Amino acid sequence: MTRYYCDYCDTYLTHDSPVVRKQHNDGYKHKANVRNYYMQFEESQTQSLIDSKIMEFEAKTRNAFQAQVAASFQAQMMGRGAGPMPGAPGMPPRPMGPPMMGMPPGRPPMGPPPHGFPGKSSCPADA
């Protein structure tokens, strides 16, 4: 009489008959061993899938950021031409652009004087 070996349970059954195999395969220990066996492959596959998704997301984010930086840089270069960078030694400052709507050209307006009018002291001891 031949014996049946269960790979999942790492055990030999008493004999190889359909009834004994069916009874063994219906047992809770066998089902738990089968679950554990396939779980090890599922975990490694899941982890590799997660890693690939992370790499894909990081690549998209990195490419989007680089495209944004490149577009910003090109826009700045188009605005000032291909001349030297502003603030380079020996170069005059760049002229101001057109004034904003509703503002006169030239210097921006000043705020109120910090301590009253010039010539008048706001300190009560000077009065």
Mean pLDDT of 78-103: 60
Q: What is the pLDDT of residue 102?
A: 61
pLDDT band at 68 (very low <50, low <70, confident <90, very high): confident
Q: What is the pLDDT of residue 91?
A: 63
pLDDT at 117 over 80: no
Q: What is the pTM of this model?
A: 0.38
What is the 3-state secondary structure of the chain? CCCCEECCCCEECCCCCHHHHHHHHCCHHHHHHHHHHHHHHHHHHHHHHHHHHHHHHHHHHHHHHHHHHHHHHHHHHHHHCCCCCCCCCCCCCCCCCCCCCCCCCCCCCCCCCCCCCCCCCCCHHHC
pLDDT in tens, 104-113: 666 666 666 6
